[in-house]
Amino acid sequence: MIYLDNAATSWPKPEPVYRAMDGFMRHVGANPGRSGHRLSIQAARVIFETRESLARLFGVDDPLRIVFASNATEALNLVVRGLLRPGDHVITSSMEHNSVMRPLRGLEEQGVELTVVRCSVDGCVDPRDFEEAIRRNTRLIVMTHASNVVGTLFPVSEVGAIARRHGVLFCVDAAQTAGAYPLCVPSACVDLLAFTGHKSLFGPQGTGGLAVGPGVEKVVEPLIRGGTGSRSDSEHQPDWLPDRYESGTPNAVGLAGLGAGVQFVLSRGVEAIRAHEEELMVRLIEGLRAIPGVTLYGRSNARDQVAVLSFNIAGIAPSEVALRLDEQYDIQCRPGLQCAPIAHRTVGTFPVGTVRVSPGYFTTGEEVDVVVRAVWQIARSG
């Protein structure tokens, strides 16, 4: 089997991830930080160590500024719904996933003003367009770090500098990049970084969160309120991090796995992971580009994108291509709109969609060659 759906969920995971989760369930298992006994402290310590690793990965000084959520979608909802009020203005791009677009469209119906900056047909954005869209009431720019449809990397530092200059908060959706592409959150002027655990951080599904910049918690309301194990005498939500945004018993076993995944990323180094994936992408792009009848979307340049590639074969529906890849060649990929209708409108593939292939760190060059041959055979057979 060749698994090329890492942009949806990475698989397989590094061995320590399986071990950490099994070990947590068997030997720790208690409710983190609620009870004060040794197992409870140990559970809390495992979660704290995951915070520490993520803080290191993102260049954040204080691990308490890493807040956990069940995925990037929840983290993004926390940001936009916790910050924006009717009459506020928010700017985003025309390459976003529905994890950004749907909450924003929902808020638009409640009186939040929304500007969608148009991207080019290859999925690129001009940072100046963000600056021109800023108004007196602009509170937030929310933008992806890399498209989940065509992989195009977005100019985070440039847009971050613009946002900072205008006193606008800047939120980045790093679902496709955290662990796969280097990013120093403070130096890129990112106020809120939403990440997911189950992609390039190699954690299990149901993990993710937010890196929260200094002071941002004063203006972003929590999405969920409840028990935190702290200030149990009060009926009001604490205002300190991470408790302000973390209520209820967390996914501790998931965070144990995520911690092991992030440790793996740190031990290999994001640069080394990136180099491997870039090599795979060069091979994939060159191979697919040479096939008659195949159209590649986006930049189709390994340097400008993460390990995500969208293509179509003339005359064959994406779902049919994916079905044949799966059944005849044992290759897993993802056809369709990938939860990003606006991105497909931008690159001209709406409503049919594309075939999306996304190699990962554990994909080999030989596997990429097998995929190229399979696509070639499907294209030839028509």
- Which residues in this chain contact other proteins in the complex, by CB under 8 A? 32-37, 41, 44-45, 47-48, 51-52, 61-64, 228-233, 238, 240, 242-243
226: left (phi over 0), alpha (psi -120 to 50) or beta: left
Q: Which is nearer to other proteins, 46 or 112 (CB)?
A: 46
Catalytic one among 171, 189, 333, 339?
Answer: 339
Q: Which of 273, 109, 75 is nearest to 183 (CA)?
A: 273
- Measured from the CB atom, the residue of 33 and 335 that comes closer to other proteins is 33
Q: Which of 224, 190, 225 is nearest to 210 (CA)?
A: 190
Q: What are phi and psi for residue 312, nearest 5 degrees?
A: -140, 155
> What is the torsion angle, in degrees rounded to the nearest 10, for the CA atoms of residue 59, residue 63, residue 68 and residue 72?
-10
Q: Which SS3 state, helix, strand or coil, does residue 336 take?
A: strand
Q: Closest CB to other proteins among 176 and 228?
A: 228
Tokens of 86: 């009717």
Taking the least distance from each CB to other proteins, the nearer of 43 and 141 is 43
Burial of residue 303 (number of CB atoms within 10 Å: 0-12, 13-18, 19+): exposed
Tokens of 342: 């606006």
How long a stretch of residues is the chain?
A: 382
Residue 180: strand, helix, or coil:
coil
> Whole-number minimum distance, CB 207 to other proteins, in Å?
17
Q: Smallest distance, Å, CB 36 to other proteins?
A: 3
Q: What is the nearest approach in angstroms of other proteins to the Cβ of residue 167? A: 23
**Known active-site residue 184:** no
The SS3 call for residue 4 is coil
- Please, what is the Cα angle at 320 between 316 and 321, to 5 degrees? 75
Taking the C-alpha atoms of residue 185 and residue 376, their distance in angstroms, rounded to an integer, is: 41
Q: Is the CB of 54 or the CB of 307 nearer to other proteins? A: 54
For the annotated catalytic residues, the residue numbers are 339
